[in-house]
Amino acid sequence: MSVSKYREQWSLDSQVAYLNHGSFGAVPKVVTVAQREIQALEEKNPNLFFRTTLPTLHDEARKFVAEWLGSSPELFAFVPNASQSVITAASALVTKPRSQIVATSLGYGGVLNGLAEIARRTQSTLRIAEIAFTAGVQTADDIADSVFAALTPDTSVVVLDQITSETALLLPLEQIVRTIRRVAPQARVVIDGAHTPGMLSPMLPADFDVWVGNFHKWICAPRASAGLVCKNSTIANQMTPLAPSWDFEAGFPKSFFAQGTDDYSSYLVTPDAIKFHDSFNTNECDTHNRTVIDEVAKMLHNAWGTEPDVPTEMFCPWMRLVRLPMKRQLTKAEADALTLKVSQELNTETVIVSPGDSNYVRLSAHIYNEIEDYEKLKQIPSLMIII
């Protein structure tokens, strides 16, 4: 098996093909070293670290990351992860009881659960715009129409994924947001960009009110590290942390910093992860990841006699669903069992998902992956017989 020259820069098990960076990004060795240095500083004198060193390092990291995203430090805060950040934004923006929150049926499960609970607490409703994933995805117009149909004069927040989670689709965001601005101008648009940092350029969409993105996926920062960007100071003035605490009265973004004692080293070394990422030629990395995903998807489709279900313009660059040759849709428990079998019997980390009425393997490709890493996946159908 040919091993990528980049692979040695990660601590990944050399016996395992790691093909699920999309779920859990792996951290490069150099970034782990930087994090350990911060933690060592913390342990040398915790009192001095938390009172004096941490606020300064945190501000420096915040400034660096905000500017890298194309935003500014006054409009950017670190948050632990995309799930908590979307829920934070929606909680802060649903200010009126009996309003409506809109999300799509392809939204991330944990986020949809959180939105349902915010709706319950505010006596509001969660309306789901249905995006079918049966026998192929609809067109961009169909998707925009589904969101359109869910909007009402009471819609206060719309949550949209830049790249959908289970299905790895690049949503036609500009078109959808244009529709929202026209039909429901009172609605705030929250963009879940969990997969965006590192993969899409520009990262921030042209129009949004709040954007959240993970750094612990494609940018390879240590867990947990994510960011929340407010479009302008009006939105920032409305943004409150999920757990109000110290400096709450100072408002965004200071109110997001002092959330109690914790290990904030993952935020502090997020700039190191960004510098590591940018140390590659980013065009070369993008071309490599896209080429691997395209080639491997073709290889598996040929091996299994299946075809892509998704219009090519909705392919997200570095992840892809490839349909498995099975007649019956697997239950979630069966899909999880098959994912584990692939891990144990093929030494390959990936994920099996069953959106719509079919079953797929969801592939991810990062700079350390080579086409050969995916060869063993051809054997998945032989594992399925014994499920």
Instruction: Point out which residues bind ligand PLP (CB under 6 A).
Output: 23, 81-83, 108, 111, 161, 165, 192, 194-195, 214
The smaller minimum CB distance to ligand PLP, of residues 23 and 279, is found at 23
The smaller minimum CB distance to ligand PLP, of residues 69 and 194, is found at 194
DSSP-derived letter for residue 264 is -
Residue 104: strand pairing partners = 129
Q: In whole angstroms, how close is the CB of 200 to ligand PLP at the nearest point?
A: 13
Are residues 136 and 142 in contact, defined by beta-carbon separation less than 8 angstroms? no
The smaller minimum CB distance to ligand PLP, of residues 38 and 82, is found at 82
Q: In whole angstroms, how close is the CB of 3 to ligand PLP at the nearest point?
A: 27
The smaller minimum CB distance to ligand PLP, of residues 165 and 370, is found at 165
Could you tell me the strand order of the sheet in which 360-364 lies?
319-323, 360-364, 351-353
The smaller minimum CB distance to ligand PLP, of residues 177 and 326, is found at 177
Quick one: tokens of 210?
Answer: 């709040």
Phi-psi region of 140 (alpha: psi -120 to 50; beta: other; left: phi over 0): alpha
The smaller minimum CB distance to ligand PLP, of residues 161 and 209, is found at 161
Q: In whole angstroms, how close is the CB of 118 to ligand PLP at the nearest point?
A: 15
Residue with tokens 């960011």: 227
Instruction: Tell me the C-alpha distance between 194 and 175, whole Å.
Output: 20
Q: In whole angstroms, how close is the CB of 2 to ligand PLP at the nearest point?
A: 29
Concatenating the DSSP letter of every residue in 286-297 gives: HHHHHHHHHHHH
DSSP-derived letter for residue 51 is I
Quick one: tokens of 49?
Answer: 């670290």
Torsion from C-alpha of 132, 193, 156, 98, nearest 10 degrees: 70
The smaller minimum CB distance to ligand PLP, of residues 163 and 326, is found at 163
The smaller minimum CB distance to ligand PLP, of residues 155 and 164, is found at 164
Q: What phi, psi does 126 have (nearest 5°)?
A: -100, 115
Q: Which residue number is nearest to ligand PLP in terms of Cβ?
A: 165
Residue 129: strand pairing partners = 104
| Residues 75, 78, 79: CA angle, nearest 5 degrees | 120
Quick one: tokens of 35?
Answer: 């994090």
Q: In whole angstroms, how close is the CB of 5 to ligand PLP at the nearest point?
A: 28
Instruction: Tell me the C-alpha distance between 100 and 228, whole Å.
Output: 22
Q: In whole angstroms, how close is the CB of 327 to ligand PLP at the nearest point?
A: 28
SS3 of residue 101 by DSSP: strand
Q: In whole angstroms, how close is the CB of 338 to ligand PLP at the nearest point?
A: 19
| Residues 216, 236, 251: CA angle, nearest 5 degrees | 95
The smaller minimum CB distance to ligand PLP, of residues 229 and 326, is found at 229
Q: In whole angstroms, how close is the CB of 45 to ligand PLP at the nearest point?
A: 31
SS3 of residue 102 by DSSP: strand
Q: In whole angstroms, how close is the CB of 329 to ligand PLP at the nearest point?
A: 21
